[in-house]
């Protein structure tokens, strides 16, 4: 048989993980709205429970619609497997869970989604885990923060909220030197603009809530494994390399090789943490991904135009968009993110907090929403909303000071987005 040609991104986003339904011929992947699945016989059931055979038992663990989505995202990210879960925040816990024991830490970028800063600086402490925040532009500082108890390095590709780009190959080099997995949150770039695994990441996490679904309908998350990390090279990852009591002493890495992390995510993570994606959500996200490349092209094109327009506006102090030639990150963007700098960025007004609040309140087409990656243009004043739980120092470190607005540029007619911003800025300054 002739060697099959690898399909392009646009084909994979439509066909990856999904064949016509074997039971009915349905061309679109059906929503398998079923909690349980009938075993062929007792032997079949036993094989499934012992992880000797892959199949469907119960939808907390696996579901055919969710499986199709998992395979599609893994394909687009060049991963070996993926586990979907109920939200992006669930995905972050699901990524760390197999790696971390009580007393372990993760070295994380100080530029992260506000909710992730909160999850990492407060909530994970209850598990006996610690996050160490470091400026990832300084790769020496990453290495310096690593100690014997570090189990992972974590960053975002295009970092929230300012659209700051991470130099993933440089960070991956450090992770490789210290022998730790690099986890990249690729939510804001999507696999269309950035392929973290190709740049050296071990794991990729997503909030599928955002661009992958693309229309603000369902929350979801995903963890993709590259299959490239040797979990048994040290004794640091006992959940993957040592016997698992709940499976008669099975060793995940020894038994499943490259699939160890993914199977652990399903067989232990979803089984016991229960942060499962439902098949309806998987269906919406599959539909969204079918048009990902088209939407991202328009998102990026519109973002570039809006950023250029804002940059020229007299009331605007600064536009933090790496697609602008004036950006200190422009060269990095051209090199690592050549298809575009994303559609999420922040800008600061010359006037402070009150002007930003008035601006947001006077917008008509653009919505004031704590979300991003929607077809609709969304704006948020981070200091009074998503980042209000943070201290002022943390706000500034995350690029969310009082005069800063974050915009997620949608795919509407770009002249309409600009006209709306123009009238709202005018009213805010009155
Ligand atoms: C939204 C978001 C999250 C959290 O995802 P949820 O689906 O809201 O739980 C994590 N990281 C980034 C970059 C995000 O934008």
Closest Cα to atom 2, ligand 1: which residue?
207
Residue 164 CB partners (closer than 8 Å, separation 6+):
111, 158, 320, 322, 329, 399
pLDDT of residue 178: 98
Q: Is 115 in the pocket of ligand 1 (CB under 6 A)?
A: yes
Kindly give the number of the ligand 1 atom that is closest to the alpha carbon of 160. 13
3 — pLDDT class (breaks 50, 70, 90): low
223 Cα to the center of ligand 1, angstroms: 12
pLDDT of residue 389: 77
The answer to whether the beta carbons of residues 118 and 400 sit under 8 Å apart is no
Q: Is 208 in the pocket of ligand 1 (CB under 6 A)?
A: no
pLDDT of residue 1: 42
296 — pLDDT class (breaks 50, 70, 90): very high
Tell me the whole-structure pTM to 2 decimals: 0.95
The most distant pair of C-alpha atoms in the chain lies apart, rounded to whole Å, by: 75
Distance CA 200, CA 42 (A): 43
Q: Per-residue pLDDT averaged across 38-45, rounded?
A: 92
Q: Is 185 in the pocket of ligand 1 (CB under 6 A)?
A: yes
The CATH number of 292-428 is: 3.90.1150.10
The answer to whether the beta carbons of residues 29 and 283 sit under 8 Å apart is yes
Residue 430 CB coordination number (10 Å): 6
353 — pLDDT class (breaks 50, 70, 90): confident
Distance CA 360, CA 427 (A): 10
Closest Cα to atom 4, ligand 1: which residue?
88
Q: Is 187 in the pocket of ligand 1 (CB under 6 A)?
A: yes
367-368 and 378-380 beta bridge pairing: parallel
Kindly give the number of the ligand 1 atom that is closest to the alpha carbon of 89. 9
Residue 86 CB coordination number (10 Å): 21
Q: Is 88 in the pocket of ligand 1 (CB under 6 A)?
A: yes
CATH 3.90.1150.10 boundaries in the chain: 292-428
Q: Per-residue pLDDT averaged across 266-277, rounded?
A: 96
* Residue 325 CA neighbour count, 13 Å, CB half: 0
130-134 and 81-85 beta bridge pairing: unpaired
Kindly give the number of the ligand 1 atom that is closest to the alpha carbon of 112. 13
**221-250 per-position pLDDT tens digit:** 999 999 999 999 999 999 999 999 888 899
pLDDT of residue 4: 62
Tell which one of 209, 220, 275, 378 to mutate to probe ligand 1, the residue whose CB is within 8 A of the most ligand atoms: 209
**186-203 per-position pLDDT tens digit:** 999 999 999 999 999 999
Can you state the angle between helices 353-362 and 414-429, rounded to 10 degrees?
A: 130
φ/ψ (deg, to 5) at 348: -110, 145
pLDDT of residue 393: 81
Residue with the larger pLDDT of the pair 396 and 105:
105
What single DSSP character describes residue 36? B
Tokens of 26: 């349905």
pLDDT of residue 399: 73
Distance CA 4, CA 68 (A): 21
Kindly give the number of the ligand 1 atom that is closest to the alpha carbon of 92. 10
Kindly give the number of the ligand 1 atom that is closest to the alpha carbon of 90. 9
327 Cα to the center of ligand 1, angstroms: 25
pLDDT of residue 387: 77
Q: Is 116 in the pocket of ligand 1 (CB under 6 A)?
A: yes
Q: Is 207 in the pocket of ligand 1 (CB under 6 A)?
A: yes
Q: Is 160 in the pocket of ligand 1 (CB under 6 A)?
A: yes
- DSSP labels, 370-400: S--S-SS-EEE-GGGTTTTTS-HHHHHHTT-
Q: Is 285 in the pocket of ligand 1 (CB under 6 A)?
A: no
Residue with the larger pLDDT of the pair 371 and 95:
95
97 Cα to the center of ligand 1, angstroms: 17
Distance CA 136, CA 168 (A): 9
Q: Per-residue pLDDT averaged across 9-15, rounded?
A: 97
Give me the residue label for tokens 């309140």: 361
Tokens of 67: 């499986």
CATH 3.40.640.10 boundaries in the chain: 9-288
Tell which one of 85, 113, 385, 387 to mutate to probe ligand 1, the residue whose CB is within 8 A of the most ligand atoms: 113
Give me the residues paired with residue 164 across strands.
159
89 Cα to the center of ligand 1, angstroms: 6
The CATH number of 9-288 is: 3.40.640.10
Residue with the larger pLDDT of the pair 265 and 352:
265
Closest Cα to atom 1, ligand 1: which residue?
207
């Amino acid at each position: 048989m002739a060697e099959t040609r690898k399909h392009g991104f646009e084909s994979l986003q439509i066909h990856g993980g999904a064949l016509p339904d074997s039971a009915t011929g349905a061309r679109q992947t059906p929503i398998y709205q079923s909690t349980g699945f009938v075993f062929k016989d007792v032997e079949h059931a036993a094989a499934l429970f012992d992880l000797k055979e892959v199949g469907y038992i119960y939808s907390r663990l696996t579901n055919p619609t969710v499986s199709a989505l998992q395979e599609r995202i893994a394909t687009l990210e060049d991963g070996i497997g993926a586990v979907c879960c109920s939200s992006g925040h669930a995905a972050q816990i699901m990524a760390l869970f197999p790696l971390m024991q009580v007393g372990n830490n993760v070295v994380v970028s100080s530029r992260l989604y506000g909710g992730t800063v909160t999850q990492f600086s407060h909530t994970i402490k209850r598990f006996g885990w610690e996050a160490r925040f470091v400026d990832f532009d300084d790769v020496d500082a990453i290495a310096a923060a690593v100690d014997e108890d570090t189990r992972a390095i974590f960053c975002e590709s295009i970092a929230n909220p300012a659209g700051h780009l991470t130099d993933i190959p440089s960070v991956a080099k450090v992770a490789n030197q210290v022998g730790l997995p690099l986890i990249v949150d690729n939510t804001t770039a999507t696999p269309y603009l950035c392929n973290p695994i190709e740049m050296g990441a071990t794991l990729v996490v997503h909030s599928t809530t955002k661009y992958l679904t693309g229309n603000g309908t369902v929350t979801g998350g995903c963890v993709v494994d590259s299959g490239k990390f040797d979990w048994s090279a040290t004794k640091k990852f006992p959940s993957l390399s040592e016997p698992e009591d709940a499976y008669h002493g099975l060793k995940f890495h020894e038994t499943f090789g490259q699939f160890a992390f993914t199977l652990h995510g399903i067989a232990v993570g979803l089984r016991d943490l229960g942060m499962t994606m439902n098949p309806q959500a998987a269906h919406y996200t599959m539909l969204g991904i079918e048009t990902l490349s088209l939407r991202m092209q328009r998102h990026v094109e519109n973002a570039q135009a809006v950023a250029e327009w804002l940059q020229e506006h007299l009331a605007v102090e600064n536009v933090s968009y790496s697609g602008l030639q004036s950006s200190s990150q422009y060269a990095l963007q051209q090199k690592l993110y050549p298809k575009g700098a994303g559609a999420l960025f922040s800008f600061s007004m010359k006037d402070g907090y009150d002007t930003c609040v008035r601006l947001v309140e006077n917008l008509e087409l653009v919505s004031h929403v704590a979300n991003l990656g929607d077809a609709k243009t969304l704006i948020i004043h981070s200091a009074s909303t998503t980042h209000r739980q943070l201290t002022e120092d943390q706000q500034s470190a995350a690029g969310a000071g009082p005069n800063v607005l974050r915009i997620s540029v949608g795919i509407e007619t770009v002249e309409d987005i600009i006209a709306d911003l123009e009238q709202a800025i005018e009213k805010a300054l009155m």
